[in-house]
Structure 1
Amino acid sequence: MTDPTPDHGTDPNRPDGSEQPFVSHLVELRDRLIRAVIAIGVAFIALAIYPSPAGLYDLLAMPLIEHLPKGATLIATNPISPFMVPVKVTMLAAFMLALPVVLYQVWAFVAPGLYAHEKRLVMPLIISSTVLFFTGVAFCYFFVFGKVFTFIQNFAPKSITAAPDIEAYLSFVLNMFIAFGAAFEVPVVLVILVRMGMVTVEKLRDFRSYFIVIAFVVAAVVTPPDVVSQLALAIPMCLLYEVGIWAAQLFVKHTQAPQEDSTAAP
């Protein structure tokens, strides 16, 4: 006598595997978190050896140092800042270096519960979001910082000698990195919104003029009060909005759930 229960394990459009107990999910989550932490720890040790925390902070401060008056340097107003701030920079760099491993652990944890058409969407989104975030950070470091610090030094009175605090500079850099990294995620956000059915591509096109206004408002709020940095954030956001519309069409087309055959025999 055959088993009347259909076998869903061989259906490629269904989640992989059978239903697992809650404790098993917790154990797997723990293992994934441990692997992610180990990856970050290994990256931290490698960066602590070379180029060292001090070398990383010098690299991070280079765009500012190049635009300070001759002989001026950063200062530390807290006695432990010369130690703690480079360590924080190293931890941040280690997390970013290990980010592909961290995202893979996230993907490996949720993948068994996804349908085949959903898996085709998740992995490209993880890769593209990582690349876009790093692109935003690199754009901020190599282009925006130079323009911002040039504007500030040209605007500052000649009677003032700039000597920024290292903790204040780190806070400024983190805020700018997060702002530009998040702004470059616009295409990913649009793809997710369209894929979830919250908006349509047509509505995104109609919303284009409103988004341009929003982009300039956001740029005015999160960047220093100079036109160069505001344009450097707002213009890429507008361009990436157009990329997001195109990507949403492409991803939705190739990640739709397979239609059931209505003519199939029972």
Structure 2
Amino acid sequence: MNDSLSTQFNKEYGVLPTRSIAVTDDEMALSEHIEEFSQRLIFCLILLSFFTIACFIDIKEIVKLFQAPADGIKFLQFSPGEYFFASVKIALFSGLLISSPAILYQILLYTLPGLTKKERDVVLPMTIGSGILFGVGLWFSYSFLVPAALKFFIAYGADVVEPFWSFEQYFNFVAVLIFSTGLAFQVPIIQIVVGLLGIISGKTMLSSWKYVVVISTILGAVITPSTDPITQILLSSALLALYLSGAGILIVLNK
């Protein structure tokens, strides 16, 4: 009788049963996750905006840094506002690069608490290694690939045309080459993920080096905007070395 009276009382006065209370707790937990995500997203956007504005304020020095590989080349403005809009893109590109470590750190702070210890032991080193490799790829492209590509383009038409370049098109060329090289340097990270998942072992990867030579050569030709062999050989050699490094790490880990 007491149970039936209790049930009737709940129905009449809208008292929630125990299961509904648990659901409410889950909804509160979900709302907290959404709130944390929105807060971190807003913080990342503010950080990106701050560094973008700071780069735009000192844009002339950054422009000189981008122009450094094209020593001796005169840049022209072919349309009204071309330099201004190119400066905005350079500031945004530079602000994104500068703020990317902090943004990556915020992503880690949001995701790591939801992972197990075993998953954290894998995700954290992989994320740090990915960031380092991306930075090395940017440096490699700026120091070697961009100068080699520009040298080829300048020398190719030196006897026919005078090298006067559009500044915006030049920046697009350099930005694409630098960013794509940074992404290409993620090859070892992809290999380690594949190896840890048990899809392909390190020994199998190492035994397939002949195919990798062909693939890295094709990727070198696709990624580099120029058609000169020096730039393609540099990037292809770097990709091959990264691939062998990734396979070697998996072998050391017995994967």
Cα shift at 1:177:
1.0
Offset at residue 23 of structure 1 (A): 2.7
1:133-172 correspondence to structure 2 within 5 Å: 133-172=134-173
Instruction: Determine if contact 1:144/1:232 at 8 Å carries over to the other structure.
Output: yes
Secondary structure of the 2:76 match is: coil
What fraction of aligned residue pairs are identical, expressed as a percent?
A: 25
The structure-2 alpha-carbon separation of the partners of 1:116 and 1:250, relative to structure 1 and needing over 3 Å to count, comes to farther
Matched, 1:56 2:62: yes
1:30 counterpart = 2:27: no
Runs (4+) off by over 6 Å: none
Change (3 A) 1:22 1:96: same
Matched, 1:238 2:240: yes
Structure 1 residues 228 and 19 mapped into 2: Cα distance closer, same or farther (>3 Å)?
farther
Aligned counterparts of 1:31 and 1:238: Cα–Cα separation in 2: 41
> Aligned residue pairs: how many?
229
Residue 20 of structure 1, CA deviation: 6.7
Match of 1:43 in 2: 51
Amino acid at match of 1:53: I
> Could you tell me how far 1:213 is from its partner in structure 2?
0.8
1:107 CA drift (Å): 0.9
Per-residue CA deviation, residues 29-54 of structure 1 (Å, 9 max, x unaligned), is 111111211222232233334xx112
Structure 1 runs not aligned, ≥5 long: 1-17, 254-266
Residue number among 227, 248, 255 corresponding to 2:250 in the alignment: 248
Q: Secondary structure at the match of 1:78?
A: coil
Report the equivalent of 1:4: none
CA distance in 2, matches of 1:67, 1:242: 38
Distance in structure 2 (CA, Å) of the matches to 1:178 and 1:20:
41
Query: TM-score by structure 1 length?
Result: 0.80
Q: Distance in 2 between matches of 1:154 and 1:169?
A: 16
- Counterpart CA distance in 1 for 2:254 and 2:165 is 48
Q: Which residue of 1 aligns with 2:115?
A: 114
- Asked whether the equivalents of residues 181 and 223 of structure 2 are also in contact (C-alpha less than 8 Å), the reply is no
Q: Name whichever structure is richer in helix by fraction.
A: 2
Distance of 1:144 and 1:125 partners within structure 2: 26
CA deviations over 1:129-166 (Å, ceiling 9, x no partner): 11111111111111222222222222214231111111
Counterpart amino acid of residue 247 in structure 2:
I
* CA distance in structure 2 between the partners assigned to 1:23 and 1:151 by the alignment: 56
User: Which structure is higher in RCO with an 8 Å CA cutoff and minimum separation 6?
Assistant: 1
Are 2:163 and 1:185 aligned? Answer: no
User: 1:19 and 1:233, CA in 2 relative to 1: closer, same or farther beyond 3 A?
Assistant: farther
Which of the pair has more CA radius of gyration?
2
Alignment of structure 1 residues 190-209 onto 2, 5 Å: 190-209=191-210
